[in-house]
């Protein structure tokens, strides 16, 4: 199973160059002055390019953070959050043939029962200048023979602080699907030995087009024990995903109190 040969070769070329500079740094005392002077010019040019890349990357991340604060959200919003894998690089950036429960970063995990593990999960750069998050996630599915496939995203404990049945959890997501498939979002709230589940379908997703989704999970429809909250997470569930790919370009969660009438 090939994983984007061009990108793999580019990454290996950069890794080789990094090792070469590390080796030259260790052996500089054995070099002649003319060689040192030539390599110094190369190093300065390389450092300028690296600094420019880092500066632009930091700038895009800062824009993403400011956009997070500037989003128009319902009145009474008291918590907002975007997963870290959408704001900064994770390592490893890609996982080929992942086992069930394999994590991408510290918040996302892929779950499936495909015996061939015919999947690739990776962090990708968001391509559009209008994308609020600098990074996204891509899931490629090949000859999938399992009965379920999902990506689970753990929400931070701050999402549970002060959480009541008067709250609405709001999900904003932006996805691109290679072909039309059914995608569901399920919010799970663990309280004591029990777990409450709220399921919503993401709709109107056309192949190759970026789809903006907003769904709300009203906790009034649960029986959660507000005094025993332990864990909260989101599952993105993909139905019949074989021979397809899904890109998650934005995922943003917030919570607000339901309006009283």
Rounded to whole angstroms, the Cα distance separating 161 from 158 reads 5
How does pLDDT run across 15-52, given as a tens digit for each residue? 888 888 888 888 888 888 888 888 888 888 888 777 66
CA distances from 49 to 44, 46, 106 (A): 9, 5, 30
How does pLDDT run across 182-205, given as a tens digit for each residue? 999 999 999 999 999 999 999 877
Q: Which two tokens stand for residue 228?
A: 């025993």
Per-residue confidence (pLDDT) for residue 216, from 0 to 100: 95
Q: Cβ–Cβ contacts within 10 Å for residue 236, how many? A: 24
How does pLDDT run across 114-160, given as a tens digit for each residue? 988 889 999 998 877 667 788 899 999 988 888 999 999 999 999 99
208: burial class by Cβ within 10 Å (0-12, 13-18, 19+)?
A: exposed
**Which one-letter DSSP state was computed for residue 221?**
G
Q: What are the extents of the domains in the chain? A: 5-68, 79-257
Per the CB < 8 A criterion, the answer to whether 234 and 253 are in contact is yes
CA distances from 86 to 21, 43, 58, 260 (A): 31, 31, 13, 34
159's CB contacts (< 8 A; 6+ apart) are 79, 81, 169, 232, 253, 255
Rounded to whole angstroms, the Cα distance separating 229 from 195 reads 10
Is CATH 2.60.120.260 what the domain over 79-257 is classified as, yes or no? yes
């Amino acid at each position: 199973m090939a994983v984007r040969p061009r990108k793999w070769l580019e990454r290996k070329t950069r890794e080789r160059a990094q090792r070469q500079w590390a080796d030259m740094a260790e052996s500089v005392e054995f070099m002649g002055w003319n060689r040192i002077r030539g390599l110094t010019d190369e190093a300065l040019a390389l450092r300028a390019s690296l600094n420019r890349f880092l500066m632009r990357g930091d700038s895009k991340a800062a824009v993403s953070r400011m956009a997070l604060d500037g989003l128009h959200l319902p009145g009474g919003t008291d918590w907002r959050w975007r997963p870290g894998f959408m704001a900064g690089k994770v390592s490893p950036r890609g996982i080929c043939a992942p086992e069930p429960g394999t994590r991408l970063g510290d918040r996302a995990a892929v779950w499936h029962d495909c015996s061939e593990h015919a999947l690739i999960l990776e962090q990708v750069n968001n391509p559009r200048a209008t994308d609020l998050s600098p990074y996204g996630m891509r899931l490629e599915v090949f000859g999938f023979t399992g009965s379920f496939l999902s990506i689970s995203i753990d929400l931070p404990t701050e999402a549970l602080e002060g959480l009541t049945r008067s709250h609405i959890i709001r999900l904003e997501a932006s996805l691109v699907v290679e072909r039309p498939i059914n995608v569901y979002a399920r919010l799970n709230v663990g309280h004591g030995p029990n777990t409450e589940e709220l399921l919503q379908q993401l709709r109107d997703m056309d192949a190759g087009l970026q789809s903006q989704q907003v769904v709300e999970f009203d906790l009034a429809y649960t029986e959660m024990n507000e005094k025993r909250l332990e864990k909260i997470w989101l599952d993105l569930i993909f139905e019949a995903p074989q021979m397809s790919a899904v890109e998650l370009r934005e995922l943003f969660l917030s919570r607000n109190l339901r309006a009283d009438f």
